[in-house]
Structure 1
């Protein structure tokens, strides 16, 4: 049975790996010359690696870690000290450390020890989060009705404290501020670090995603007979007029491809552009317009000397960037760079209209306020990466609008972190959605899922 997967990000590749391991003939189409989607990297004109964002791997990312184990590259994750690091203007650094076996009680104790929140606010927050920490999934899902700031304020938590502790966390996870993001998203993330052994770990790839993650996945797939086609742009998906069935795919070069099953692993806006007119008669597809996408900006700064020499991710308080990572420290593959700082700018919509130079200046000014030693270094090179429609907007009520992987078209499936899989938008969410799409394909066609190594995705 032949399956065509459209899109070679983590979602599409995870789906393809699962299907190829279970004996399916798989063809993967990717519109860009590189694999990886929002986790991709590429060489610029100077031969320097550019990434779409600093991609943090968490110990709770079971599906992503399982995929890397299966491909044989889990040892490429560089695990760091188990802590949350916050930087404030004036050079103040605050840490919340966890033990490897941190459970709910240990995490509560660690949060109480933090200097980022007053004692009264800590008790109120921890009381409110207790059902989530103890595994009450219904409680977590029911918090999608309000934004996180309002949810925390309803507990009596000071809004200034919410901003200080949760603002950089929220902007890193969802690219939205606490008063914009669904309370479910933040509560889910807080609960996920209480999942058990090493769930609080934070790690990074040991180099660029292209060479260290996606080339091995490509080799794994090709060894199993899969065909990967970069620069293959989709023009139209062809649905039957007589039955709910996909007939084929037309590429922009005029080529027409057919298969038994089709899986869209495209970004949501790209999917909406290529769906045929018949699709919009189905409420399932018309609801896709209710899911909004938001932009993302990543900034890379290269300096002539070492600054921000922290071997971990750093959450930035009160700045245009939410997360700061020194890749030349966290990832050995970047050690040849004297100092490579990568930052997430969020919410990106606030400054997306500015030119690259203005964005770099804002980031450099804020970075210097967080880490005064930056003033003694010279900026050698800067790179700004903009993605206008990067991920779905995790606002209150958005969870109910996320589509399932199975569609009303019997041989057409979706995957991507915007689909419904229980996780938040992340590398884990994308990978999990790909595995679930593959599982649904096999279940629908009467074949049992055969796991071929690694920890099965949950």
Structure 2
């Protein structure tokens, strides 16, 4: 065992939550060490060089205009061109028919009303049902998470096509699970923020670089602030000494600090906390709460063609297993001579976990050709399938009471991660919020590092006041 390296705070995990916590604490003047067990940063939002494909691959993540904390962090890191912004969403049917959702001249919440009324993917009965449902989220969304979205759909009389062509692609794509395992609270949050609050809140942002590259400027900013970043350094255990300081062990190395932020997933966090003395009901309740979390998978299919096969940067695909198509070569501004790169996303992909690569690929190719017939005239140069078995956690009804706060029963130990109590689902924004909340807990000022929320605009400013 080498001699201990001392700091004020050790942050375990260099995903979005750990990076956010480390930057905030360093800006507050703390000496911080950031440990990451992988050879790259980003946590679950990562990219890597695929040796067989000789390509950099990741599972695409997106942000919205309402994701104020990750956007603030990016702004602080000087990432002006790191995100491509889009003010419209294309819903594609297998026959190639397009429905566009975009902002117009009407004030919020009616800013997308004209494009919604013109959308051919829905008939007037479907649109009336959706409008009736959306009215429930004008004032916000439920403060409790006890009801499933499946129950809500029945209560509001949604039509089969409205569910299939609107509610399902948005909810499954955003929350990565089916209606029974998504609470109305978080589904309602998605619709309130994306479609009603303001045109700015609903803007879609897609990282313009592979995810580890996307997060690199934030890690570089952390290092400029004095954070010591150590990759390939996984935390094996933590112990508290008689002086109250914490020892963090990784292989033959030991780090000591007054505080520890565990910015790890709920499985690894549980394992680390299980080795600590458990003398309180609070500690026992936290241990039991981990049983309530369900990890949800995402499968992505990566296709490289010799030519451009679509004029769209992204699209929602209807009536198929695939929820999203991202034209990554277009998003990343590849030259035409380089060909095209598509990523297809299957959310809540439990069936695909049991399927072989060739079966998944064959099915995806058949379905994709229905939406993009130009593929028939292109050559598939290479392909890959990426399964993320623990991509997110499911916001199941009633989970909020088990999502832990950033403080713990062990003084000096704090929790970060999108699964903690952030009031957000499993997203990059939720992760950054958790890291900033954990940093606030360390300095005993919980909201100190939090960014302001996106303000409501148009009539929503009046509605927010009226229904407050």
- TM score, norm. by length of structure 2: 0.87
Other-structure match for 2:287: 285
Distance, in Å, in 1 between the alignment partners of 2:341 and 2:111 is 34
Q: Does the 8 Å contact 1:329/1:335 carry over to 2?
A: no
Distance apart, 1:151 and its partner CA: 0.6
Distance apart, 1:333 and its partner CA: 6.0
Other-structure match for 2:31: 25
1:200 aligns with 2:199: no
1:302 aligns with 2:308: no
Distance apart, 1:307 and its partner CA: 0.8
Other-structure match for 2:394: 393
Other-structure match for 2:154: 153
Q: Does the 8 Å contact 2:48/2:58 carry over to 1?
A: no
| Correspondent of 2:71 among 50, 65, 85 | 65
Distance, in Å, in 2 between the alignment partners of 1:15 and 1:448 is 13
Distance apart, 1:207 and its partner CA: 2.1
Q: Does the 8 Å contact 2:407/2:438 carry over to 1?
A: yes
1:259 aligns with 2:257: yes
Other-structure match for 2:91: 86
Distance, in Å, in 1 between the alignment partners of 2:160 and 2:335 is 39
Seen in structure 2, the aligned counterparts of structure 1 residues 341 and 156 have a Cα distance that, compared at 3 Å, is same
Q: Does the 8 Å contact 1:100/1:198 carry over to 2?
A: no
Other-structure match for 2:103: 98
Seen in structure 2, the aligned counterparts of structure 1 residues 229 and 100 have a Cα distance that, compared at 3 Å, is farther
1:232 aligns with 2:233: yes
Counterparts in 2 of 1:336-351, with a 5 A limit? 337-351=338-352
1:38 aligns with 2:64: no
Distance, in Å, in 2 between the alignment partners of 1:67 and 1:300 is 29
Farther-moved stretch of structure 1 (280-289 vs 161-170): 280-289
| Correspondent of 1:122 among 105, 112, 127 | 127
Counterparts in 2 of 1:278-427, with a 5 A limit? 278-279=277-278, 281-311=283-313, 313-332=314-333, 337-427=338-428
Distance apart, 1:408 and its partner CA: 1.8
Q: Does the 8 Å contact 2:300/2:343 carry over to 1?
A: yes
Distance, in Å, in 2 between the alignment partners of 1:435 and 1:417 is 11
Distance, in Å, in 1 between the alignment partners of 2:413 and 2:179 is 36
Distance, in Å, in 2 between the alignment partners of 1:101 and 1:219 is 42
Distance, in Å, in 2 between the alignment partners of 1:259 and 1:286 is 27
The two structures, once aligned, show a CA RMSD in angstroms of: 2.5
Counterparts in 2 of 1:173-252, with a 5 A limit? 173-193=174-194, 194-211=196-213, 213-239=214-240, 247-251=246-250
Please give the secondary structure, in 2, of the residue aligned with 1:234: coil
Unpaired segments of 5 or more residues in structure 1? none
Distance apart, 1:227 and its partner CA: 0.5
Distance apart, 1:35 and its partner CA: 0.5
Seen in structure 2, the aligned counterparts of structure 1 residues 101 and 257 have a Cα distance that, compared at 3 Å, is farther
Please give the secondary structure, in 1, of the residue aligned with 2:369: helix
Farther-moved stretch of structure 1 (366-375 vs 171-180): 171-180
Distance apart, 1:442 and its partner CA: 1.3
Distance, in Å, in 1 between the alignment partners of 2:320 and 2:46 is 26
Distance apart, 1:184 and its partner CA: 2.0
After superposition, what is the alpha-carbon deviation per residue over 1:134-168, rounded to whole angstroms, capped at 9, x for unaligned?
A: 3x3xx4224x2332232122111113421221222
Distance, in Å, in 1 between the alignment partners of 2:106 and 2:82 is 22
Distance apart, 1:448 and its partner CA: 9.1
Number of equivalent positions: 443
After superposition, what is the alpha-carbon deviation per residue over 1:372-395, rounded to whole angstroms, capped at 9, x for unaligned?
A: 222222211112222222221122
Distance, in Å, in 2 between the alignment partners of 1:39 and 1:335 is 28
Farther-moved stretch of structure 1 (333-342 vs 353-362): 333-342
Q: Does the 8 Å contact 1:39/1:51 carry over to 2?
A: no
Please give the secondary structure, in 2, of the residue aligned with 1:363: helix
Distance, in Å, in 1 between the alignment partners of 2:406 and 2:297 is 24
Other-structure match for 1:441: 442
- TM score, norm. by length of structure 1: 0.89
Other-structure match for 1:163: 164
Other-structure match for 2:465: none
Q: Does the 8 Å contact 2:105/2:111 carry over to 1?
A: no
Q: Does the 8 Å contact 2:246/2:259 carry over to 1?
A: no
Q: Does the 8 Å contact 1:102/1:200 carry over to 2?
A: no
Other-structure match for 2:463: none
